[in-house]
Structure 1
């Protein structure tokens, strides 16, 4: 079973493409669940049928659901809050402060991710397609398990078993997201320079989180005006030429495959219209096929007496990059997204002497302690 997560800037059509992907999988005889974590919940509108928090049949082999975070909070949050209260109390926070601290930002995203994992595990699905919220919400969704688990691991000696149990749960969620054999992200965008710029920043942020992006989808391309004439045709050709130029620049900056979908005059609603859209999107290819194998985030290579640490981050020319070292951890901040990465044991007695960005990502040169500074 694989999980495909569709995300992108709000309004780019990710819900429709997620629904079309699930419909194509089901039409091929594979049991597919498409589930929305987007608070806007337009997935039901795409199929033209009502959906609830539990999977319901949309068509043969095709099931849909939407995550109702408010209902989840009413049902699940009291148990999670009690676990966090025990953790914080065990760490020396008094009971009143612990109650206040358990009203945490990001709980909605954490509950939504937990529910997706539950739905994936509870059904006979060969694929689960997730219509995620807009990009910023999705980045928070992917960051939370690691961030909270890291915090819990630090307070574990004083917080006891409650911290361990919660950290293990979050670690399982993190492992699901970071395993390219089980999960992959499809980034949806419209071919406009501002949207593509945000998409490239998202690629960097997800790579920094260790999340595998396996493909890009350019949606709503203006149709080609082949034999048409007149002002409308001239406008269409000019607009399509601008979009093609944007796509060419993007293709030159990433090894990821870019699928394209042209704008339709009528909004695709219902399984038949979604299947037609999927035919253009996948052109007969398997929607689950992986066209890109990710490089490991960290790799070490010899450089004479020194060692080089390669961090596979797709950096843009305008990326705001900051590096720092905190003991055996490397602190990397790119465009406001920060992550602590444990240095490989081989490099912990070395000193960083140089850093540069290249086609492989970020390359840091390490010299043995006492070497050139």
Structure 2
């Protein structure tokens, strides 16, 4: 982002670009140096107790996903500071972005299962439990850090899944890129994120009528290919505004060039960006036979979707992406009666299990 604005953002604090516009580059390690040191020391101690060489243990316990977690925590801090009308996150390519957006829910799920098992052990029983396991149990300081991380991830997830948050996809008119964007929309919906705009980048100018020669033929060929691509985008993302961004004569670097790009958008019939969006949350409804749980999965077919029940969790898989959903209490006392994918939605049926209901 600093390169796009032609501004140095290495300081780790918001930099004013112009009136009403600030930019910030996130420093991952700055968020974790204190709390991660506590957990890191415990992990090294645990691996050493298992016979792992201390140097190897040090390498094995480097913090995974530090940059993604730091970006999410910074997002929460900036949103909750109420200093800004709008916070925009410039995301990495698709795979990294999906991993980052899924991280709060996934990490909160795992942390939520660590805390009860360790907190439940009385202080007097901890040495015996550690001896039985053959590894040291986390001390109170480690558990306090884990509790804080859990609370932070829950808070971040609440922001990302609210009507105040949305995703705007950037694609091009090439068939391969459109196909990837279609899969991205489905995956974002799996995690409950709303997409409220599609930007189709690098639209070439139309060939001048009457022009001939290799250059004109080349441009005419690309014009036709982009027309087909734009038609595919319109068909794929029904109901979502599509913005066409022209291929400029030079790379847009700096505020003036970026403003010129914004003013050159084609068919920019966008919902006001500060207007709330309809969050793509799961819906639970009562039926004659029990309950249904429904989740929007646009463009998905039944063969794309995997479904597994594991105790109080429902594991949903779309392609290579997986989401673990902790079921509402009313559904934990039910069994899955079936599932279907129709009209861009996954519907899972549940029927009450008398053996699990209070007597």
Q: Does the TM-score normalized on the shorter chain lie above 0.5?
A: yes
Name the structure 2 match of 1:298. Answer: 283
Structure 2: distance between partners of 1:369 and 1:336: 32
- Contact 1:215–1:291 (CA<8 Å) still a contact in 2? no
Identify if the C-alpha distance between structure 1 residues 356 and 122 changes in structure 2 by more than 3 Å, giving closer, same or farther: closer
Please point out which of 166, 171, 174 is paired with 1:192: 174
- Contact 1:192–1:246 (CA<8 Å) still a contact in 2? yes
The 5 Å alignment of 1:105-116 reads 105-116=64-75
Give the match's secondary structure for 1:57. Answer: strand
- Contact 1:312–1:362 (CA<8 Å) still a contact in 2? yes
- More strand per residue: 1
Name the structure 2 match of 1:342. Answer: 326
- Contact 2:312–2:327 (CA<8 Å) still a contact in 1? yes
Whether 2:32 is the aligned partner of 1:77: answer yes
Name the structure 2 match of 1:24. Answer: none
Q: Which runs of 5+ in 1 are unaligned?
A: 1-42
Bigger-Rg structure (1/2): 2
Name the structure 2 match of 1:155. Answer: 114
1:78-103 deviations in Å (ceiling 9; x for gaps): 312134348869xx947767967642
- Contact 2:91–2:97 (CA<8 Å) still a contact in 1? yes
Q: Which runs of 5+ in 2 are unaligned?
A: 51-56, 120-142, 355-359
Please point out which of 219, 228, 246 is paired with 1:262: 246
Whether 2:210 is the aligned partner of 1:252: answer no
Give the match's secondary structure for 1:252. Answer: helix
Whether 2:85 is the aligned partner of 1:126: answer yes
Comparing 311-320 and 284-293, the one that deviates more: 284-293
Superposed displacement of residue 123, structure 1: 7.0
Superposed displacement of residue 233, structure 1: 3.3
Please point out which of 30, 50, 61 is paired with 2:8: 50
Name the structure 2 match of 1:277. Answer: 261
Identify if the C-alpha distance between structure 1 residues 344 and 167 changes in structure 2 by more than 3 Å, giving closer, same or farther: closer
Structure 2: distance between partners of 1:224 and 1:207: 35
Give the match's secondary structure for 1:128. Answer: coil
- The TM-score, its normalising length taken from structure 2, stands at 0.77
- Number of positions where the alignment pairs a residue of Structure 1 with one of Structure 2: 320
Comparing 261-270 and 228-237, the one that deviates more: 228-237
Comparing 292-301 and 257-266, the one that deviates more: 292-301
Name the structure 2 match of 1:34. Answer: none
Higher relative contact order (CA 8 A, sep 6+): 1
1:159-205 deviations in Å (ceiling 9; x for gaps): 54332222112212222222221x22111111111111111111122
Structure 2: distance between partners of 1:188 and 1:194: 14
1:141-161 deviations in Å (ceiling 9; x for gaps): 112222222111111121543
Name the structure 2 match of 1:178. Answer: 161
